[in-house]
Chains A and B, each alone.
Chain A
Amino acid sequence: MSEWIETWRSPIAQDALHVGIILAIVGGYLGVYVVLKRIVFVGAALAQVSAAGVALAFLVGWNPLLSATLFALAGSLFFAQSWGERRISREAVIGAVFLTFSALTVLLASKGAHGMEEVQHLLAGDILAVAPEEVGRIWILGVLVLVAFLLLRKEFLLVAFDAETAQALGYRTRWWEFAFYLMLGGFIGVVIHLVGLVLIFGYLVLPALGALMLARRMTQVVAVAVVNALIATVAGLLVSIIFDLPTTATMLVFMSLLAGVESLAGAFVAR
């Protein structure tokens, strides 16, 4: 027992915990909007676009953080466009972007110094491998995104719920959409090369799912989503250390479990 307590108290685990906490708060909050706006796969596609940016950076020797962020911002600009009536659905384009950038990531990484190992890291990531100097950076970004989102939450809510009325009220919805995607893309871009695509995607989807089933008010939904993400982060990290399991997968299992239990509880209460 003392062995895992020692591991838990180690700087590596503590750094992972600190990173996980801010990811849980920001991801849980943004995730509520991602699910409500029905853009779950935009989150996945943006994460994949960022991953391609990291793979390219490793190949040509750029700064991976900068490259991932630039790729994510370009993706945000693309997805923030209003789709309207076109000959192909938005879903098809999201799928095409996801597939194209997945292939691009593999191709770029295959020519990089670490080859497929790099792809594996970009996909699954490892929160335990976050460098100590990154922790403060992620916290600063996380707090900035969180504060900006809190200050602008009513505008984001109105534009997400009823863009046409927002326009009639004088809001430039295209800019608000872009601002939302900018925060989402910026957040994904900065953290993807540290914790991987799957964990980010998990934070953006699973905590919000259970929260939407369980809670009845927007503020409650956000609170439950953030608490879900926090519980899954701490429990996942702890269990993965105790049983020597992959951390990302363990956290995701906890997020899924919470989403499942809350969905059942929500359905039971609604009956």
Chain B
Amino acid sequence: MSEPLVRFQDVQLGYGRQLVLEKVQLDIFRGDFFGLVGPNGSGKTTLLRCLLGILKPLSGEVTRSVGLRIGYVPQREMLDPLFPLSALDIVLMGRYPRAGILRSPQRADRDFAMQCLEQVGLADSAHKLYRELSGGQRQRVLIARALAVEPNLLVLDEPTNGLDLPTEAAILGLIERLHAQNGLTIVLVSHVLNVVARYATRMGVLLDGRLLVGAAEDLMQDQVLEEAYGVPVCVQRLDHHYIVAVREVEEACGDE
């Protein structure tokens, strides 16, 4: 197998004295579609921050391959729509590190940013204000900005939060296309289990301060999810989709 883009070796993560995750072993390989799930407060954000290089591990080692460029798509709610920025202005931010300090993005950067907007189907809205765009369009802008970094790893934090069903499907379709057609390595963080399991080739489930990594079909099991979420669940498969439901204690999985 090829060398991983990112490797976590026996990593402990936390804030000060507070330990959030321990013994994290994780390899993100080129071409992976890795899904990270876990209940609220399980440490998804902590692991994500470490992956992005924002949080240093308390112990253990995180190695990144030479030339790794991460395109990050944050949660939309984190951004303030008060800023008078157009879609293009925001996508151009992805070019800032290339432009360097004290220099403005050049014409080539603008052209590239436009290409990124085109890739996510938003070229027509390049000059619209971010605050005037719908939730799905805003998500596309943020994906375009991540693409403007020319990444080999795309990290998305809860990209379908607050979206209606058709928009959610369109965004997930776009992410899948970027993975399949552009060969982008994807890390998708979400609390929506079936979304992650539907697209991810490998998954990580945060369970009691540890990270369990495996194939989606191995982890999408009643027992694993019950342990992670602390409630009895029922997992069923329908074509390529997983359906996860919380069940009553006495009710057996699959019963009417």
Interfacial residues, chain A to chain B (CB-CB below 8 A): 36, 38, 151-152, 154-155, 157-158, 160-162, 164-165, 167-171, 212, 215-218, 220-221
Contact A221 B104 (CB under 8 A): no
Instruction: Tell which of B83, B84, B104, B149 has the most Cβ of chain A within 10 Å.
Output: B84
Kindly identify which residue among A162, A168, A217 contacts B52, using a CB–CB cutoff of 8 Å: A168
Contact B83 A218 (CB under 8 A): yes
- The answer to whether residues A216 and B96 also contact, given A152-B101, A152-B102 and a CB cut-off of 8 A, is no
- Specify which chain B residues have a CB less than 8 angstroms from the CB of A212 in the assembled complex: 82, 84
- The answer to whether residues A164 and B54 also contact, given A212-B84, A218-B84 and a CB cut-off of 8 A, is yes
Contact B72 A155 (CB under 8 A): no
Stretch at the interface among B85-93, B202-210, B241-249: B85-93
- Specify which chain A residues have a CB less than 8 angstroms from the CB of B101 in the assembled complex: 152, 155
Contact A161 B83 (CB under 8 A): yes
Given contacts A155-B96, A168-B155, 18 further A-B contacts (CB under 8 A): A36-B80, A36-B83, A152-B101, A154-B99, A161-B83, A161-B93, A162-B78, A165-B72, A165-B74, A165-B93, A167-B53, A168-B52, A168-B53, A212-B84, A217-B86, A218-B84, A218-B89, A221-B84
- The answer to whether residues A167 and B54 also contact, given A155-B96, A162-B74, A216-B129 and a CB cut-off of 8 A, is yes
Nearest-Cβ distance from residue B198 to partner chain A, whole angstroms: 26
In the bound assembly, the distance between CA atoms of A151 and B103 in angstroms comes to 7
**Interface size bracket, B side:** 20 to 34
Kindly identify which residue among B72, B78, B93, B102 contacts A158, using a CB–CB cutoff of 8 Å: B93
- The answer to whether residues A154 and B104 also contact, given A162-B93, A169-B149 and a CB cut-off of 8 A, is yes
In the bound assembly, the distance between CA atoms of A171 and B149 in angstroms comes to 14
In the bound assembly, the distance between CA atoms of A175 and B86 in angstroms comes to 26
B97 within 8 A of A: yes
Interfacial residues, chain B to chain A (CB-CB below 8 A): 52-54, 70, 72, 74, 78-80, 82-86, 89-90, 93-94, 96-97, 99, 101-102, 104-105, 129, 145, 149, 155
- Specify which chain A residues have a CB less than 8 angstroms from the CB of B129 in the assembled complex: 216
Contact B85 A161 (CB under 8 A): yes
In the bound assembly, the distance between CA atoms of A36 and B85 in angstroms comes to 11
Nearest-Cβ distance from residue A231 to partner chain B, whole angstroms: 21
16 CB contacts below 8 A, A to B, read: A36-B80, A38-B80, A157-B83, A161-B83, A161-B85, A161-B93, A165-B93, A165-B145, A167-B54, A168-B53, A168-B70, A168-B155, A169-B72, A169-B149, A212-B82, A216-B129
- Specify which chain A residues have a CB less than 8 angstroms from the CB of B155 in the assembled complex: 168
Minimal Cβ-Cβ distance residue in A for B15: A84
- Specify which chain B residues have a CB less than 8 angstroms from the CB of A168 in the assembled complex: 52-54, 70, 72, 155
Minimal Cβ-Cβ distance residue in A for B129: A216
In the bound assembly, the distance between CA atoms of A218 and B54 in angstroms comes to 28
In the bound assembly, the distance between CA atoms of A171 and B52 in angstroms comes to 12
In the bound assembly, the distance between CA atoms of A216 and B130 in angstroms comes to 11
- The answer to whether residues A151 and B102 also contact, given A164-B74, A165-B74, A168-B52 and a CB cut-off of 8 A, is yes
Minimal Cβ-Cβ distance residue in A for B90: A161
